[in-house]
Amino acid sequence: MTKEVKKMENQTTLEERFLKCPYATAQSIISGKWAVLILYYLEEGPLRFNELLRKMPKMTHATLSVQLKSLEEYGLIKRVQFESIPPKVEYSLTEMGEKFHPVIAAIETWGNEYIAKMNGGDPA
């Protein structure tokens, strides 16, 4: 544990630790139920709202809207609105969002090992 993280132990909430502790900051940003999946899908390139919604059929329109706004506020995705009729909006990763790729790759590796272990297999 780093000195900085150790200093944070007396600050009890995520809000108090945000932008001070790397773990609390990451937890705050990706705490949305669908945040990691949204970032994963946007790695493929820009997507429109309904394209994202189709990739996650159990997600509601309102939930996706909230998650996208949150990720945009955190600076991981950008929203580009094109002046057309009907209006067209695309979402894509920012430079900081693209830097999340190794985290997604690590989550995939860990997730596959966990799934194999829980299904009685030998994780590779």
pLDDT at 85: 85
Average pLDDT, the chain: 89
Residues 6+ positions from 43 with CB-CB distance below 8 Å = 93, 98, 101, 104
| Model confidence pLDDT, tens digit, residues 20-50 | 888 888 988 988 889 999 999 999 999 999 9
pLDDT at 112 over 90: yes
CATH 3.40.50.300, domain 34-118, yes or no: no
Domains of the chain, residue spans: 1-31, 34-118
Using left for φ > 0, alpha for ψ between -120 and 50, and beta otherwise, residue 32 falls in beta
pLDDT at 45: 97
Query: What does the alpha-carbon distance between residue 79 and residue 90 come to, in Å, rounded to a whole number?
Result: 6
Sign of the CA dihedral with 36 first, then 6, 114, and 106 last: positive
